[in-house]
């Protein structure tokens, strides 16, 4: 290799630094800082590799360039100001430098005129606080604490002039877990990080990658965590999910449609709907879903499960058994909800009873009447269901059946979001519309039983 080639290689492997970045980045931080031609990079995935320091360094790479502007975000101001968090580290770096701190706007201004601003988005809609701003760098610390719509909105704030050579960069650092675990995992295809998008990269890093940390004492602290949290923070395990404590994924056996018992053994079928009434808009970016769970009750186990019990000699769970055939969900306005239920019912077959959660009072009766007369006049059974007890009480009944090994889920595209939502039921700020549709099926079966006993059918 010639001297010129060695110099070129050294430059290619040396990230852009300046006097305002007073660290020697370790190997994973170096990789993170080298990817300036990539629009979107996620760094970390476990506790301890120096994610926040890497994020602050990335934000400061161009503070020597006039006109440069960066924004660094945490979910709340409290998170931003914690010891060891972004703003605290910035004061350690720049309090005795030529950069100027504005404590009113939480902004550093550098001799070049470049700025680094700190912000937070604690509530839905806070992202619009930045709608008239433009930045060349935006960094999210602990990305899984943010909802997806806030993250994606901020791409609209990445802008530069035609003459500028400063790269536009969206950067984030995070651990697994938190309200945004699922969407971050899906967006970056974690844990592999292999996506079909050349402008989206994941740089994994763990405790072992950080030579500047007292790993032994940090390891002792992590050892006090609960199992799932330890797997997430120590190992960076994106498949370990915190449970709300009501449902657990291992309770639900996934079966193929070919494993369904013969229809002669089906004694009930229903599609129960939990209604929402808002479409996703900029004003309401995360409304509730309308969700409909289709389930059968049968006195025969799925074929593959019956064989397994025979081969292993394990005692059979008692019948009846419950099989989730499908889960539909969408976010629509009232007209869109009616169309969703109409088309879904047509696909199910009009012989499948439709159960709809009904509010007490005249408004609830009016909705059920409208569905019977105008939305689903073809089907003979639209059932208004008054939920018994609160969500917790209804979930307890369904959880009992599931724990006993009596609930199965037919494999399909709905499976992962459905099982994940069940597992997270009880965690704050997580949607539970599929849970309500699922638990409502059990009460719908009870009502169908009562109605069948009443041959006069006066309650239809």
- CA angle, 83 then 206 then 21, to 5°: 55
* pLDDT, tens digit, 9 for 90 and up, residues 22-58: 999 999 999 999 999 999 999 987 777 789 999 999 9
- What is the residue whose two structure tokens read 């806030």? 150
pLDDT for 213 beyond 90? no
Domain ranges of the chain: 11-235, 249-453
Q: In this predicted structure, what is the pLDDT of residue 86?
A: 92
pLDDT more than 90, % of the chain: 52
Q: In this predicted structure, what is the pLDDT of residue 460?
A: 44
pLDDT for 458 beyond 90? no
Class for domain 11-235, per CATH?
A: alpha beta
Cα distance between residue 404 and residue 308, in whole Å: 16
Tokens of 163: 């003459």
* pLDDT, tens digit, 9 for 90 and up, residues 426-448: 777 778 899 999 999 999 999 99
Which is more confidently placed, 360 or 96? 96
* pLDDT, tens digit, 9 for 90 and up, residues 372-407: 888 888 766 888 887 777 788 888 889 999 999 899
Q: In this predicted structure, what is the pLDDT of residue 242?
A: 59
Q: Right CATH number for 249-453 from 3.30.420.280, 3.40.50.150, 3.40.50.620, 3.30.450.90?
A: 3.30.420.280
Q: Provide CB contacts within 8 A for 389, sequence distance 6+.
A: none
SS3 70: strand
CB burial of residue 351 (10 Å; 0-12, 13-18, 19+) = exposed
Question: In the predicted model, what is the mean pLDDT of the chain?
Answer: 87
User: Residue 177: phi, psi to the nearest 5?
Assistant: 100, 175
Cα distance between residue 137 and residue 116, in whole Å: 9
- Four-CA torsion 4, 9, 15, 21, nearest 10 degrees: -50
pTM of the model: 0.62
Q: Provide CB contacts within 8 A for 380, sequence distance 6+.
A: 350, 460
Q: What is the mean pLDDT of residues 79-106?
A: 93
Nearest CA-CA partner of 46 in 225, 237, 181: 237
Q: Count the neighbouring beta carbons within 10 Å of the beta carbon of residue 308.
A: 13
Binning pLDDT at 50, 70 and 90, where does residue 10 land? low
Cα distance between residue 191 and residue 177, in whole Å: 13
Contact 86, 141 (CB under 8 A): yes
Tokens of 389: 């007890």
CA distances from 399 to 266, 274, 292, 405 (A): 21, 18, 18, 10
């Amino acid at each position: 290799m010639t001297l010129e080639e060695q110099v070129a290689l050294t430059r290619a492997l040396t990230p852009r630094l300046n006097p305002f970045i007073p660290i020697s980045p370790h190997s994973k931080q170096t990789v993170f800082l080298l990817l300036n031609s990539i629009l979107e990079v996620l760094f970390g995935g476990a506790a301890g590799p120096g994610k926040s320091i890497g994020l602050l360094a990335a934000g400061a790479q161009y503070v020597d360039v006039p006109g440069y502007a960066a924004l660094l975000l945490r979910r709340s101001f409290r998170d931003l100001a914690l010891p060891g968090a972004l703003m605290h580290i910035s004061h350690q770096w720049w309090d005795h430098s030529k950069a100027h701190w504005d404590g009113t706007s939480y902004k550093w201004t550098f001799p070049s005129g470049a700025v680094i601003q700190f912000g937070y988005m604690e509530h839905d809609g806070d992202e619009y606080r930045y709608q008239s701003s433009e930045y060349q760098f935006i960094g999210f610390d602990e990305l899984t604490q943010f909802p997806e719509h806030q993250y994606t909105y901020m791409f609209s704030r990445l802008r530069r002039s035609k003459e500028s050579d400063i790269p536009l960069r969206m950067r984030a650092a995070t651990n697994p877990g938190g309200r945004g675990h699922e969407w971050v995992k899906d967006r970056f295809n974690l844990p592999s990080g292999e996506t079909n998008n050349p402008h989206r990269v994941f740089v994994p890093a763990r405790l072992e990658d950080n030579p500047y940390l007292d790993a032994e004492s940090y390891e002792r602290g992590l050892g006090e965590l609960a199992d799932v949290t330890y797997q997430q923070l120590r190992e960076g395990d994106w498949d370990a999910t915190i449970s709300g404590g009501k449902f657990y994924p291992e309770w639900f056996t996934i079966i193929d449609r070919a494993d369904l018992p013969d229809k002669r053994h089906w004694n009930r079928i229903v599609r129960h709907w939990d209604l929402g009434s808002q479409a996703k808009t900029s004003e309401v970016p995360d409304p509730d879903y309308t969700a409909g769970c289709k389930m059968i009750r049968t006195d025969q186990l799925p074929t593959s499960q019956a064989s397994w019990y025979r081969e292993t000699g394990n005692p059979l769970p008692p019948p009846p058994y419950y099989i989730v055939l499908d889960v539909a969900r969408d976010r629509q306005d009232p007209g869109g909800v009616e169309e969703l239920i109409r088309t879904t019912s047509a696909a199910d077959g009009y012989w499948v009873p439709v159960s709809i959660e009904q509010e007490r009072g005249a408004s609830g009766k009016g909705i059920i009447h409208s569905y019977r007369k105008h939305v689903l006049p073809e089907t003979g059974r639209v059932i208004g269901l008054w939920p018994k007890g609160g969500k917790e009480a209804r979930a307890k009944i369904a959880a009992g059946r599931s724990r006993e090994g009596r609930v199965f889920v037919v494999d399909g595209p709905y499976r992962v979001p459905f099982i994940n939502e069940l597992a997270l039921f009880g965690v704050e700020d997580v949607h539970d519309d599929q849970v309500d549709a699922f638990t409502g099926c059990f009460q719908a079966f009870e009502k169908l039983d009562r109605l069948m006993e009443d041959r006069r059918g006066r309650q239809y």
